[in-house]
Structure 1
Amino acid sequence: MDEPPAPGGSATREDVAAALSRAPAPVRFSRWNLAGADLSGLDLAGCEFRGCRGGRAEFSSSDLTEARFQDCDLNNTRWRGTRLAAAVMEDCKLTGAQFMEAATLGLSFARCLLINAYLRGVSFRRCELQGIDFQGADLVGCDFREAVLTACSLREANLLDARFEGADLRGADLGALRLSEAARFRGAVVSKQQAAELLSGLGLKVV
């Protein structure tokens, strides 16, 4: 995979397009400063991003099919209409990221911060989610059926219409829940401690 040198200072859309045009195959971007860059509509399928700074970058309508992001700062990025099928994001900061109307079939996250991120309708069905912080995230309509969540946080997340049938939540932090919120985890597997916490939230004491 071609790995062009990072330009001095912040990279522009033209820098990224030039790197793509010179390479016969997907490009590996290592430690590029992509903060605030407009990368909308670019064909970045199969590309790798390692240790990049991309806060506030615009990826809307880009093709990132089978792309890989590792150890990247992607806070407050926008992904409206982006093709992210089979893409992988590992050890990335995605606080405030907006995944609106994105094609996310097979998109996977590992050890990522998704605090206050917009992820409405994303399917995590049968996924093994490790070390994901969804605190305050918009997870309306997300599908967590048969997923396994380990060292994950769902505190204060918006879980309206999310599905958890068959999900293993024993390794997740569910936060303090009210009765109406607890019902959203119907069909999920929880630990005895989590069950006790849920009941205590209803004013019941477990002895």
Structure 2
Amino acid sequence: MSDTPRTAPAPEGPASRLEVERVLGGGEGPVRFVGWMLAGADLSRLDLDGSVFERCRAAQVDFSQARLTEARFLSCDLNNSRWTGARLSSADFADCKLTGAVMGDIQALDLKIARCLLVSAQMPGMSFYRCALDGVDFEDADLRKADFREAVLTGCSLRGANIVDARFERTDLRGADLGELRLADASKFKGAIISKHQAAQLLAGLGLKVV
């Protein structure tokens, strides 16, 4: 999308769905929401393609089935937000809090996530195919059947995450914190690239030492 987002002045106090719809209908192209208070707002099914959300307080906001292709979220509080069925292809999350977010059935090709908290987030079946994930905390997140193929995880944490049936073929996990590794965990990361230190942790379960 080539259109430069137009900045919408933040209203005083919490913003409702009606106010967001009014801004969207007040001109052409995407909108830049700076400092908006959107906590608990129902923004489901809205067309927000290309929009920018910067320093917004949006805990428990509902983006279910919203169109958010190429949207950007910068330094936002999105804790316990809901995203079920949203379109997030080429979306960008940076320095955001997404603890407890519900992100099932999302369309998210080429998703970008950097320095974000996704602790205890619900993300079953999420696609991170070929994504570059930098500084993302997935601790205790539900990542069942997630697709991490060919992704690169740098400074990320998967401690306590549920990765049952997740795919890690050619995933670079050398810069990730995988928690306390046991030999039984090896099959969960089948096909992944790990460091010598991580390999040593796995082999330690057999009583072997890497030198």
Confirm or deny: 8 A CA contact 1:145 1:165 kept in the other structure: yes
In structure 1, the partner of 2:207 is 204
User: How many percent of aligned residue pairs carry the same amino acid?
Assistant: 56
Aligned counterpart, 1:134:
138
Unaligned stretches of 5+ residues in structure 2: none
Spell out structure 1 runs of 4+ moving beyond 4 A.
none
Counting only pairs closer than 5 Å after superposition, residues 116-127 of structure 1 correspond to structure 2 as 116-127=120-131
Which runs of 5 or more structure 1 residues have no equivalent in the other structure?
none
- Rounded to whole Å, the distance in 2 between the matches of 1:199 and 1:172 is 18
Q: Structure 1 residue 186: deviation in Å?
A: 1.7
1:43 paired residue number: 47
Paired AA for residue 204 in structure 1 = G
Give the AA of the match of 2:207.
Answer: L
Q: Distance in 2 between matches of 1:121 and 1:131?
A: 21
Contact 1:98/1:117 (8 A) holds in 2? yes
TM-score normalized by structure 1? Answer: 0.95
Match of 2:7 in 1: 3
1:191 aligns with 2:198: no
| SS of residue matched to 2:24 | helix
Alpha-carbon distance in 1 for matches of 2:157, 2:77: 20
**Alignment check: 8 A CA contact 2:82 2:103 kept:** yes
For 2:137 and 2:130, how far apart are their aligned partners in 1? 18
1:109-131 deviation per Cα after TM superposition (whole angstroms, max 9, x unaligned): 11111111111111212221110
Q: What is the CA distance between 1:178 and its match in structure 2?
A: 3.1
Q: What count of residue pairs does the alignment treat as equivalent?
A: 206
- Please list, as runs of the form range in 1=range in 2, the aligned pairs for 1:139-158 lying within 5 A after superposition: 139-158=143-162
Task: Find the aligned partners of 2:127 and 2:63 in 1 and give their Cα distance.
Answer: 20
The answer (yes or no) to whether the contact 1:176–1:198 under 8 Å persists in 2 is no
- The equivalent position to 2:171 in structure 1, one of 167, 170, 178, is 167
Cα offset, 1:47, TM superposition: 0.5
Cα RMSD (Å): 1.2
Corresponding residue number in structure 2 for 1:54: 58
Equivalent positions of 1:23-38 (< 5 A) are 23-38=27-42
User: 1:99-155: per-residue Cα shift (whole Å, max 9, x none)?
Assistant: 111211222211111111111111212221110111111111111111111100010
Distance in 1 (CA, whole Å) between partners of 2:196 and 2:84 is: 40
Aligned match of 1:22: 26
Q: Mean Cα displacement is larger for which, 154-163 or 176-185? A: 176-185
Question: What TM-score results when the alignment is normalised by the length of structure 2?
Answer: 0.93
Q: Which residue of 2 aligns with 1:72?
A: 76
For residue 182 of structure 1, report the CA deviation from its aligned partner: 2.0
Shift of 1:205: 4.2
Letter aligned with residue 30 of structure 1: V
Does the CA contact (< 8 Å) of 2:39 and 2:59 recur in 1?
Answer: yes
Q: Residues 140 and 158 of structure 2 are in contact (CA less than 8 Å); yes or no, is this contact kept in structure 1?
A: yes
SS in structure 2 at match of 1:151: strand
